[in-house]
Amino acid sequence: MFTTLARIIKYGFQNFWRNGLVSFATILVLLLAVIVFQGMMLFGEIGRQAINAVQDKIDISVYFVSNAPEDEILKLKEALLTLSEVKSVDYISKEEALELFRERHADDPTISQAIEELEENPLRASLNIKAQDPNQYSLIAGFLEGDASQNIIQEVSYSQNQVVIDRLAKVLSLSRRIGVLLTLVCATVAIIISFNTILLAIYSNKEEIAIMRLVGASNAFIRGPYIIVGIVYGIIAVLAAMIIMAPFIYAASPYISVFITDMNLWGFFLGSFFKFLGYNLLFGVGIGVISSVIVIRKYLEI
Amino acid sequence: MITFSNVSKTYNNHEVLRDISFKIEPKEFVSLVGRSGAGKSTLVRLLIGEDKPTKGRIVFGPYEINKLQGHELPEVRRRMGIIFQDFKLLPKKTAYENVVFAMEVAGRSEEDIDEAAPQSLELVGLGKKMRNYVHELSGGERQRVAIARAMVNQPDVIIADEPTGNLDPVNTWGIINLLLKINELGTTVVLATHNKDIVNQLEHRVISLDDGMVIRDEDKGKYILT
């Protein structure tokens, strides 16, 4: 058993070296497929981060009447936090709101002076609510309308921003679907091209396969070396793709941070290097092996 | 050892072999003769399991060839040594590697291979060219490699389908003498040929085919097709 396996591996590597040009061409095509796959993974992450960044900017604010007791506001905050749709709730007291207002307008002496001249804090306490998903803001707004704290609520920003939030939610949901569709299309194209290249590579050996059968080689003995070659193709293509892509990711990282503030593409690449490598190997070696198995099957039929 | 019982083969409503029956005993040297298209190659294809008969039964040792499944064929073929007109050598391997390949698929040990593969190539006169690639060898030398490969696993039978078809007279007789030598050592040989000179000089059993039928089966026979 071990001897047979060792012989199959030996013939696999022998086929790889002796069909140098075919091996090179197949690796090139597989390399392109792996680069497309890597690109899809990276764009997927960039898209996810971009959507998160936009999502983080959406919230609804609940403004309270000026004499609303703080404990009732905090009670409402607790009630909101029990909802599964709610991601976070931030309480901003009247004093904090004034402080934020002063900071925001520190460069504008007219406004700063005007606020100092007022004897009373004109700003209201508020709760800033973020939903798990932008589609859930209408549910949260509905909860607020039906809550017993109606008497202390002066205004909910959702009704004013409803159209914008709903439209944004639809755009985000559509972007996700388009992303998945694009990924599927690109992956399918890459798989079909790689499969056909391996098919042609093995087709050029069909005479050899027939001879192997005539001298009594078992199906495993014929198929094995081609599977080994498929694995070698996949590994080389993935390693080459990683080496080619790394400098591009490094160079692109600062530019992407300009558009998506929290995004560090190079950091993501390094942080998930082994996960990234694993998925790529699964993809590259998977195509190599599955294509070889399917193609060789055709020539082993009696 | 080999029995054909009422074997027929039809391709696209055309009967290529009709009701063929004969027996070949161990250690025999049998020539299958006939003009091109008489059915010799089809008969060989059926014998080695490359194709299945439309009717009839083919037995080789303990195996009923016509009933074998694809995955059972390799085991049977390791007990046959097959030689073709176009050599059918693995083109990207050396003479030695071609012989070794046949031994490795048969599961022979490394020690066996190290001993038997060079011996087999020495026997066919290619001791000095065993490291040459197939494309570096002449037609006669390639056929010698095919013979070395066919006999290296000590098969029960050597089946040669027009082995001299691509060779000049000198190489032709070199190959025939090798087959005779293998037969003298106790291996059955089935030689399909349309070379009249070879058959007439061999004076062994001759089975003559014409239009898909056996028209003559004689010990010490001659090449007569009328």
Tens digits of residue pLDDT in A279-288:
989 988 888 8
* pLDDT score, position A284: 87
Task: Say whether B110 and A3 touch across the interface (CB within 8 A).
Answer: yes
Q: Residue A301: pLDDT above 70?
A: no
* Mean pLDDT for the stretch of residues A243-254: 92
Task: Say whether B74 and A18 touch across the interface (CB within 8 A).
Answer: no
Domain boundary among the residues B109, B126, B154 is at B154
- To the nearest whole percent, how much of chain B has pLDDT over 70? 99
- Same domain for B6 and B112, yes or no, is no
What's the token pair of residue A63?
């403004």
Domain boundary among the residues A119, A151, A183 is at A151
- Same domain for B51 and B161, yes or no, is yes
Q: Residue A48: pLDDT above 90?
A: no
Residue in this structure with the two tokens 């027996």, named with its chain if needed: B23
- Same domain for B102 and B60, yes or no, is no
**Number of domains chain A is built from:** 2
Chains A–B, number of C-beta pairs less than 8 Å apart: 61
- Same domain for A50 and A177, yes or no, is yes
- In a domain, residue B50? The reply is yes
Q: Which domain holds residue B143?
A: 89-154
The answer to whether A300 faces chain B, any CB pair under 8 Å, is yes
- Same domain for B113 and B166, yes or no, is no
- Same domain for A10 and A109, yes or no, is no
Q: For the segment B155-167, what is each residue's pLDDT rounded down to a tens digit?
A: 999 999 999 988 8
Q: Please, are residues A101 and A129 in contact by the beta-carbon 8 Å criterion?
A: no
- In a domain, residue A232? The reply is yes
- In a domain, residue B84? The reply is no
- Same domain for B71 and B108, yes or no, is no
* pLDDT score, position A228: 92
Task: Say whether B101 and A212 touch across the interface (CB within 8 A).
Answer: yes
- Which of B90, B92, B105 comes nearest A216 by C-beta? B105
Which range of A173-187, B19-33, B208-222 scores highest in mean pLDDT? It is B19-33
- In a domain, residue A286? The reply is yes
What is this structure's pTM?
0.72
- Same domain for A96 and A234, yes or no, is no
The whole-angstrom separation of Cα B160 and Cα B194 is 12
- In a domain, residue B99? The reply is yes
Task: Say whether A219 and B71 touch across the interface (CB within 8 A).
Answer: yes
Q: Is pLDDT larger for residue A69 or for residue B95? A: B95
- Same domain for A33 and A70, yes or no, is no
**Number of domains chain B is built from:** 2
- In a domain, residue A163? The reply is no
- Same domain for B115 and B12, yes or no, is no
Domain boundary among the residues B131, B154, B177 is at B154
- Same domain for A36 and A78, yes or no, is no
- Kind of pairing, strands B55-60 and B157-161? unpaired
- In a domain, residue B109? The reply is yes
Shortest distance between the Cα of A294 and any Cα of chain B, in A, equals 17
Q: How far apart, in Å, do the first and last CA atoms of chain B sit?
A: 29
Q: Is pLDDT larger for residue A123 or for residue B64? A: B64
Q: Is pLDDT larger for residue A48 or for residue A130? A: A130
- Same domain for A176 and A120, yes or no, is no
Report the chain A residue with the minimal C-alpha distance to residue B152: A215
Q: What band does B43 get if pLDDT is binned at 50, 70 and 90?
A: very high
- Same domain for B12 and B74, yes or no, is yes
The answer to whether A217 faces chain B, any CB pair under 8 Å, is yes
The answer to whether A32 faces chain B, any CB pair under 8 Å, is no
Task: Say whether A216 and B102 touch across the interface (CB within 8 A).
Answer: yes
The whole-angstrom separation of Cα A232 and Cα A105 is 63
- In a domain, residue B179? The reply is yes
- In a domain, residue A178? The reply is yes
* Nearest of A2, A15, A71 to residue A230 by alpha carbon: A15
Average pLDDT, rounded, for chain A: 85
- Which of A212, A214, A219 comes nearest B82 by C-beta? A214
- Same domain for A285 and A184, yes or no, is yes
- In a domain, residue A33? The reply is yes
- Same domain for A178 and A36, yes or no, is yes
* Mean pLDDT for the stretch of residues B42-59: 95
- To the nearest whole percent, how much of chain B has pLDDT over 90? 81
- In a domain, residue A160? The reply is no
Provide the H-helix boundaries in B79-168.
Answer: 95-105, 110-123, 139-151
The beta strand positions in A54-138, using DSSP E, are 60-64, 86-92, 126-131
The whole-angstrom separation of Cα A152 and Cα A295 is 72
The whole-angstrom separation of Cα B66 and Cα B52 is 6
The rounded Cα A3 to chain-centroid distance in angstroms is: 45
Q: Residue A99: pLDDT above 60?
A: yes
* pLDDT score, position B226: 57
Q: Which domain holds residue A295?
A: 2-54+170-300
- In a domain, residue A156? The reply is no
- Same domain for A142 and A176, yes or no, is no
The rounded Cα B95 to chain-centroid distance in angstroms is: 19
Domain boundary among the residues B116, B134, B154 is at B154
- Same domain for A39 and A180, yes or no, is yes
- Kind of pairing, strands B63-64 and B80-84? unpaired
What's the token pair of residue A247?
């400098």
- Same domain for B148 and B190, yes or no, is no
Shortest distance between the Cα of B116 and any Cα of chain A, in A, equals 17
* CATH assignment at residue A120: 3.30.70.3040
* Mean pLDDT for the stretch of residues A259-271: 85
- Same domain for A187 and A92, yes or no, is no
Q: What is the ipTM of this complex?
A: 0.85
- Same domain for A199 and A264, yes or no, is yes
- In a domain, residue B2? The reply is yes
Q: Residue B16: pLDDT above 90?
A: yes
The whole-angstrom separation of Cα A156 and Cα A20 is 70
Shortest distance between the Cα of A210 and any Cα of chain B, in A, equals 9
Task: Say whether B107 and A208 touch across the interface (CB within 8 A).
Answer: no
Q: What band does A302 get if pLDDT is binned at 50, 70 and 90?
A: very low
- In a domain, residue A199? The reply is yes
- Which of A18, A207, A216 comes nearest B78 by C-beta? A216
Q: For the segment A149-178, what is each residue's pLDDT rounded down to a tens digit?
A: 778 888 888 766 667 777 777 887 787 788
Q: Residue B73: pLDDT above 70?
A: yes
- Which region among A192-201, B180-189, B198-207 has the lowest average model confidence (pLDDT)? A192-201
